Every structure is written in C-alpha cells, then in structure tokens.
Amino acid sequence: MKHTTVILSILLLITSCSTEKKESPREPLKIWYDEPALATVKDNPNGWKDDAEWLKALPLGNGSFGAMVFGDVNLERIQLNEESMWSGSPDDNDNPEAFAAQAKIRELLFNGNYKEATELTNSTQICKGEGSGHGNGAEVPFGCFQTLGDLWIDNGQKEPYENYHRELDLDDAIVRISYTQNGVNYKREIFTSYPDQVMIVRFTADKPGQISFNATMDRPENFKTYSEDEQLIMSGALPNGKGQDGLQYMTRLKGTNKKGALQYVGDRLVVENADEVTLYLSASTDYVLDPPNYNGRDYINITEANINKALAKSFDQLLSDHTQEYQNYFKRVSLDITPDPITPMPTGTRLERYKETKNDPHLEELMFQYGRYLLISSSRPGTLPANLQGIWANKIQTPWNGDYHTDINVQMNYWLAETTNLSELHMPLFNLITSLVPSGERTAEVQYHNSGWVLHPITNVWGYTSPGESASWGMHAGGGAWLSTHIAEHYNFSKDKDFLKRMYPVLKGSVEFYMDWLVEDPKTGKLVSGPAVSPENTFIAPDGSRSQISMGPAHDQQVIWQLFTDFLNSSKELGISDSYVQKVSQARNSLLGPKIGSDGRLMEWAEEFEEVEPGHRHISHLFALHPGNQISRIETPDLAAAAGKSLDYRIANGGGGTGWSAAWLINQYARLGNGDKAKSSLETVLSKSTAANLFGLHPPFQMDANFGTTAGVAEMLLQSHAGAIELLPALPKAWPTGSVNGLKARGDITVDMKWENGQLIYANILAPEEQEITVSYGTLKKTIQLKENEIFKFVMDNPN
C-alpha cells in the first residue's frame, strides 16, 4: 500500500510510528520432500480409488493446463491435464412428464403423505436418460473430465542416488527437483506458463554430456503418439456418449538441446549425451464454452503456434514472464500467524506430525496460501471454472465425473476468490453460469412450465441443467439460485457496475424461475419451494418412512431469500425500480424464513423431522449463516445461536468429517465469531482430510476442501457480510501474534492488519473510491470516512 496515510487513533490518541508495519522476512512457502513420488507404481484404474503416489506428486497449472510432477529419478512422470478433456456431449435430459405430477406431489406433501409423495417424485421428477451415470458418466452423454495422459521421461539408469530434493515453490509456481547420481548433480525445473500457454521442463547437470533419456506420451485409451515435423504428438478423440467420437484433442512436445543429440523416433523423443535439454509442451482441444455445439477451437494450429512462440523466447524470458504474471495474483496477500521460526521439515513429515500435535502455524499458513495457489493454477480469465478436482485428474473415470456439483462444491471453490484478493479469477464461474442459461431455460420450461432458467445439483461442460437421476439428491432446484448469488458477491467486492449490468439479465432469469416455482403453503400462507431436497440429507417422516422430499426445506428458502435480496440490491444499484422489482420484494417478504426447533437448533426442514444421519456432511440449512447473510450474530443473534447449536450437534454426531464439510465449518464458526472452533475445524481438515501433497480429501481427492479452507481462514480474520467491516472477528487463541496483508472486504476495500497478544494493533484500510464505512473490532464500532486511494490507519493504542 504505497499511498498517503490518514491516521485515526482509537481509544487513546496515538501518533507514534512504533505501530508501523515492519516487513519481516517471511518463511519460504514451499511444499517439499526428500523423496520422489514413485512413477513405477501404476494407477488403480478404478476412478474412485485414490492413488497414493499421485497424491505425492506436485501440481502445476496455468488455469487450463495442469501437470502433476512426480520427480522420480530414473523415470520421470508428469501427468497431464487440459481443463476441457471431457467425454460426452450436449444432450436433452429434461423430463416432459414431470410437470403433470407436481401439483399432486405438493398436495401429498402438504397433507403429510411423505411416502407416496416421495415415490411419485422418484417416478416422475428425475431426468430423462442416464443423467450423470451415477457419477460414472465417462461413457454416457453427461461425460467425464479425464486425464490428458502422461509424459514419461526414462533416463535408462538404475544406479542409486542421493541428496534428493523436490519442491513446489508457491512464490513462483515452479517445481524444482535435484539429486546426485554417479557423481553428477542433476536439476529439473518445471513450470506451466499462462502468458505462453506451454509447460516448460528444463534438465541441467553440473557435468557435460550427462543428460540422456527417452520421452514419450500416452494415456489409458483413445490416443496415438507419433512424431511429425520434429515434434512428438499425442492426439485422439473422446467418446461422445452416443457411440461416436466427441471432443478432439492434441498434445505437442518439442525438445531443444545443448550439445549431444536430440531426435524424434516413432513415438519417442530420444536425447543422448546432452549438457542441457528443454522440453516445451502445449495441449488444446476443439472445445469452446459456447452452446449448443461447444466446439470449433482450432486446437491443432493453436498447439503449434504456442510451441513456436515459446521457442522464439529464451528460457529466462519464459521464466520471468511466467513469474511476473503469476506473482501479480499470488503476492497480493501475505499471512503470518506466528513469530516462531520454521523448523525445516519435509511437508509430508510436517503433516504427519500435525496429526499428533495439531499445532503448526507454518503448515496452516502454507495451507492457506496453497488454496490461493491452486485457484490461480486452475482458474484464470478465459478458462473453465475449477471443477471437483480443480484441473487435476489422473483417470478416465474421475469420481463424480470431476463435474461441477452445484449444491456446495463449485460454490466453495470460489469462496476465496473475492476475500483473498483474486477477484478476476471468479470470472470463469460467471462464464459457465451464462452459458447455462439457454439449457436452463429449456429445463425450466419442460420440467416445470416456468419462466427463467434453472439448474439442479450437477452440471458439466455440455450445458446439463436437468435434475439428477435420483430424486434423493437430484431434486434440488436451488442450484441456480445459489450460483446466482455469486454475481452479487462479485459486485459487492469489486463494485464493477459494467459486470453487474452484463449479468443482471442472468440474475433476473434466475429470479423469474423461483417466482414461478414458489407456492403458498395452505396452512401458513408462506411461500415455499418444492418438491425439494435439503441437499442430500434424509429425514424420518411422521409416517415412519425415510425421505428427502418435502416442501420448504430451509436451504431452498434461504438461497431463494438471498437471491431475491441480491436481485433487489442489484436493481437498486442499477437504478431499476419497476413493478417486477416490487413483486420480488413482496415475494421475499412472504417467504417461509428460518425457524428454531424445540431443541434450540435451526430447523433443516419446515417441520421438525428427525434426521437419519444427525452428523450429515451437508450443512445446507446454515447457508443463511455462511455463505449467505440472512443470519448474522449481530443482526439476528437468536438465529445465529440456533445455527451454532446445529453446528455443535452435527460435530457431536460425527459430522464435519469429509474434507469440504470440515472446511465449511471453519467458515461457519468464523461467522459465529468463534475462532477456536473454526481453528478446530481447520485442524480436522489438515489432520483427517489432507493428502501428502496437501490436496483435500473427501476422500476421494476433491479440491473444494482446499479452497474452502483458505476461504475459512480469511473469514476468521476479516468479515464484511453484515454491513460493518469486522477486524479479526474470529481470531483463535492459537494465533496470538501475526499479521495479514491484502485481504478484501466488500466495497473494493483492502485491509492489512497486525495483532499481538490476541489484540489488534492496527489495520490499514484502503479503497479506490471515497466512501463511508463502519469498522468494528470486538465491541468497538466506528464510522469512518475513506478517501480515494488513501490508507486509513485504524490504530489501537494500549489495546490490553
């Protein structure tokens, strides 16, 4: 923050510069190991089984291209991904029989006939066709995100090695490997460049003529590898799920050498006795996020042009362009939660030790920054959004098709985007949402005879918007509302009015669907959603049957409330106050709102049902607490207390166990101002749901836990959802001293903070535009006037 500073001292006047921020040298943000991930251990072909070695490999990515580097000495394996490597194709899964049964289902539900209503929902409301193939959709039209293949580099040696080190440096997004073999010190440096759209792999040695290897590329199916024009090419087509070829792809590999020989022989690149070798790899597909055909990218020429452009640059130039572009995102935020120096220890050992001690602030800092690293690596302007595995998948059948689950998972991927200062990286999600409108309109019309657009709990890159193939999880029409709330969040943080104008029709289209979808509960007169599930949870109905289907589950009610509220605020921002806005405002006021049950917990369903699984991983009825803002400890303390009881109860019953679920709890406890419980959920993520390479585990591997954890830590330190900017709202006792720079609050406000002995020392607050804001710290609340681009220094004097 290099701007003029305005200082306000709170409590006691202070002008001393002793509170000035001192830049202390930060610990290196490295994930490192003293042994390789073994490339010789084969992947389990079962997509649902994690591969322990793959989960030791180090991820690189430029938003669309991903690589997992094993760093094995004699056989290097770099597993490759391209974000659009999806089998399947666009398909019509909307069920024209659905509408006719809806009135009957609602009547049954209102009359308490859950068993019959559930049966009728199952037989009439689900999608037509095979849906997601029960999460195994590689061969059906839904399709599956899958591996691009592997680059294998075999040096033909068997001798022992020593001094082994491999690392991923989050500061520059480079993997470095070094070791000594036969008295030669070898090095590999690997990075994936966004500006140049290539992966670069450089091999060097400290003695001449020591680099020899055979390199090839393959994948489990649907490929051919050959050499052409002094390049190695792997290309093929994926099945479209209808018996034909679908997506086409190509990967090109080119090598350059200093001394020695380099040639292309059949499906191999052969290097002999070189001093240094650099490999350039570029991949693309014919996919375009453009319905209805989703194709037309000139992938053959694109890969060729990328390689040629990269060849024209020096290695140093490629490296510095990559580093600069990457650091422009990464360096915006720094976090330091301990004054203690780091004890050097390989990350795997550190993680194992954490499982015992639950105490390693450096690992927690690393995990926080890793989430940011992973978002930068899997989501950049112009790419597809990060999916269930970011962009990293090593199988043909990725769990749950590596799709976009819209009943928590893809939303969680983007919670950190705004708060951790990566707002531009949110854009791929909006491109996806916009692309879903045409098929979502068709689904709204065919399934429900409604206007607007709708989306259920899953989608893919082919515009899937129908319900899932089982009503128990698939009858969730709230996906569109939840996704649309991200539009307002992006605007709230960025204040980008052009964005809001552009996305307003999408937001309105979502509102239109729910305006038609809501019906009046004959007993209460309140507007309720249904037939609907509370994401993936099951209750015992009064008739003793087990069901997921009801009218007005809290989650739907809350996401719709949030959507309507966002729409009303957005309309105001854009100066729109027509009769439709009035109608939405009235509807919002008639919605069935959050209710507290007889046991003091926030109710998950409109009636007080017993849950089949009281520790269920989804905590969807607390959406209003986080990420929504209908409930807050300031505005609605009773509801917040009830939400707290629900959380505690879930945990007491074994909940919050899967990676993303525990990550959500960090955020929810942070919203409740309970830093110690938030920290305890962070401990759960790290000790139970984190792989050796710090990837989140459901299990299987799922990246939402990484993103949700980073968002949770940010939420512990800064909040702005309830009007005021809350400084250190949920600081745990375990982090008494620290600092954070570059976090974002709503209003395009950047905040740096420093604290000691658990007390805030100062906060530097900066906005690009003049505005009046309220800042709170504990019970202290101050209204302050921010001036354009001037740091407001909020100083606590003698906080103890």
Binding site for ligand FUC (CB under 6 A): 388, 400, 405, 409, 536, 617-618, 658, 660, 698, 702
Q: Which is nearer to ligand FUC, 372 or 618 (CB)?
A: 618
Closest to 704 measured CA to CA, from 685, 720, 722: 685
Residue 547 CB, nearest approach to ligand FUC (Å): 17
Q: Which is nearer to ligand FUC, 19 or 401 (CB)?
A: 401
| Structure-block tokens of residue 275 | 């001093």
CB 776 within 8 Å of CB 724: yes
Q: Which is nearer to ligand FUC, 397 or 571 (CB)?
A: 397
Residue 45 CB, nearest approach to ligand FUC (Å): 20
Residue 388 CB, nearest approach to ligand FUC (Å): 6
Q: Which is nearer to ligand FUC, 536 or 566 (CB)?
A: 536
| Structure-block tokens of residue 295 | 């194709």
Residue 292 CB, nearest approach to ligand FUC (Å): 27
| Structure-block tokens of residue 317 | 């130039």
Residue 661 CB, nearest approach to ligand FUC (Å): 8
CA distance 541 to 609: 6
CB 221 within 8 Å of CB 234: no
Ramachandran assignment for 370, one of left (phi > 0), alpha (psi -120 to 50 degrees), beta (any other): alpha
Residue 459 CB, nearest approach to ligand FUC (Å): 12
Residue 409 CB, nearest approach to ligand FUC (Å): 5
CA distance 587 to 585: 5
Closest to 393 measured CA to CA, from 57, 50, 81: 81
Residue 658 CB, nearest approach to ligand FUC (Å): 6
Q: Which is nearer to ligand FUC, 166 or 617 (CB)?
A: 617
CB 173 within 8 Å of CB 162: no
Q: Which is nearer to ligand FUC, 618 or 677 (CB)?
A: 618
Q: Which is nearer to ligand FUC, 509 or 659 (CB)?
A: 659
| Structure-block tokens of residue 722 | 């309830």
CB 689 within 8 Å of CB 659: yes
What is the helix (H) or strand (E) element at residue 161, kind and residue range?
Answer: strand 161-169
| Structure-block tokens of residue 557 | 């009610």
Identify residue 146 by its one-letter amino acid code: Q
Q: Which is nearer to ligand FUC, 219 or 618 (CB)?
A: 618
Residue 408 CB, nearest approach to ligand FUC (Å): 7
**Sign of the C-alpha dihedral computed for residues 481, 483, 488 and 489 taken in this order:** positive
Q: Which is nearer to ligand FUC, 684 or 702 (CB)?
A: 702
Ramachandran assignment for 613, one of left (phi > 0), alpha (psi -120 to 50 degrees), beta (any other): beta
Closest to 101 measured CA to CA, from 82, 116, 84: 116
What does the DSSP 8-state code read for residue 701?
B
Q: Which is nearer to ligand FUC, 336 or 407 (CB)?
A: 407
CB 532 within 8 Å of CB 551: yes
**Cα–Cα distance list, 507 to 591, 626, 636 (Å):** 19, 20, 26
Q: b/e per residue, 17-46, with b = 16+ CB within 10 A? A: eebeeeeeeebebebbbeebbbbeeebeee
| Alpha-helix runs per DSSP H in 653-755 | 659-671, 675-688, 704-717
Residue 405 CB, nearest approach to ligand FUC (Å): 4
- ∠ at Cα 34 (30, 39), nearest 5°? 100
Residue 25 CB, nearest approach to ligand FUC (Å): 39
Q: Which is nearer to ligand FUC, 665 or 773 (CB)?
A: 665
**Beta-bridge partners for 528:** 519
Residue 83 CB, nearest approach to ligand FUC (Å): 18
Q: Which is nearer to ligand FUC, 240 or 710 (CB)?
A: 710
